[in-house]
Structure 1
């Protein structure tokens, strides 16, 4: 018989100066996790040139550098060490999976990875400079997926880590896009300017209803604006197919399943359950192989609502980014669900 364990996700609220936000996160959330993960994170980031990473961040997104400086102060660690561990620059990272769909203006997504390297934090942020946003964090400052106050939604999809260059993990890139870009056109332009570490797909939509998948490698990007917008973990363009992993059968099968099971009659509720059902082909359970579904999320750019499920068969939680921005929403401190027990 399968055994399950609780997966608890913290709800984080950040307002104002991002240096102060870094300090807040170090004090309230991160000290024990930082100590437990420090050896692993330093090993994964051994090739990071912290000084070079700071120079790039100062140029492309000084807000993130300020948050890292706050983390360093709060954790009482050298800035170079915290930049190395949390900037995502030249970091090694295990393979992961993700499935997303944009349907009738809503962005639906499952994120698949291991709970051992999952931040388990849903972050609502309203910085002094840059757009307010909500999204799931990775490496504290990064975002796995998210939506900003302009209705831009972005999610990452791992493709391959064998083709690599000098640059940032996709989670850092998603954070930069959410903070700086108000629509798809701005996000695509910014993607071209940022240095990429590995091969990823970036799936996006915005309040206009436009959709796009950007297939990105360290040296080139290909834009696909075909609908329906379904994105998994492989490149489809003739230009980049050669950079896929050797086996992409599961990624192809998930994409095919969505094509065969989604139609115009699907509602928000039915889409959520299609993704969050533990028996669905879209919900995977290989947690010990870094390939288990951790959260299901629906971002709605037109009304800035977020529907979230943690683990499988979870009764969804609904939040309003707009109400958070206006200060009219009392957020819980945690939400939780169940995943297959890991060893």
Structure 2
């Protein structure tokens, strides 16, 4: 396994910010990690993040009720208040260049136009119970599908601004959700320990059982071939399901007590997974089936989401109020 060395870069971003860089060098590839403290006046409770179209990075400030925007060129963070009671969980970029947020506190999907920063909330249907909104994904038609951990799966038909929800199979637990290149929408249940495919015509979900029982499927991401990569919170596995072959494979994360949380597949089909148990992020290469470990100089980083753009893998450190990026060669 390649070794990791540390060097500090202080002064590049001014006295208000610092960056810690880690270099990971292998025989055929290199990667560099850079980190910035958010430096906001109060703790944000940073949860998820996603690349913004202007080169910045959006993040959800779950504790303070904001959408954050971080500028890696200056190290500056900006907070946009989402409204009284806001507790945003997920954020993704939309096909329209806006930030789309699942806000459990507001019980709504919130769109923040960019760079205008104007906001519009799409509330859940009147009378809907508390949904604990979680994560979202766009399908090929431009509709937004989302999960609610209390036991719902929903759709926002963007053109008509209509929100519909359905009870999830087996009740509470819907968490991660993704869209495959072929247009299928899949989600996973943390409490139910399964994955499911949505019938986009009627919103019904078909459950697919993983081979490992009580594994705690937390997040899911598709690779370029439509294979699904799942982080299993309770089993410590990174698993892959091929819907075409109807097959499964699993790999235990290195370490004594791995707790896989976030999963992300980059443009090279390398799979990134965060490990709460080992305070690390791993890059998994499906070819040789090998893990590379990226550690942190800070304890309890708690990476709850991984997202990126070509050559960049972005990490929100919810435990340290820090944003990190791994730049890949």
TM range (shorter): 0.3 to 0.5
Give TM-score, length-normalised by structure 1.
0.35
Relative to the length of structure 2, the TM-score reads 0.36
Structure of greater relative contact order (alpha carbons < 8 Å, 6+ residues apart) = 1
Which has more strand, going by share of residues? 2
User: Which protein has the bigger helix share?
Assistant: 1
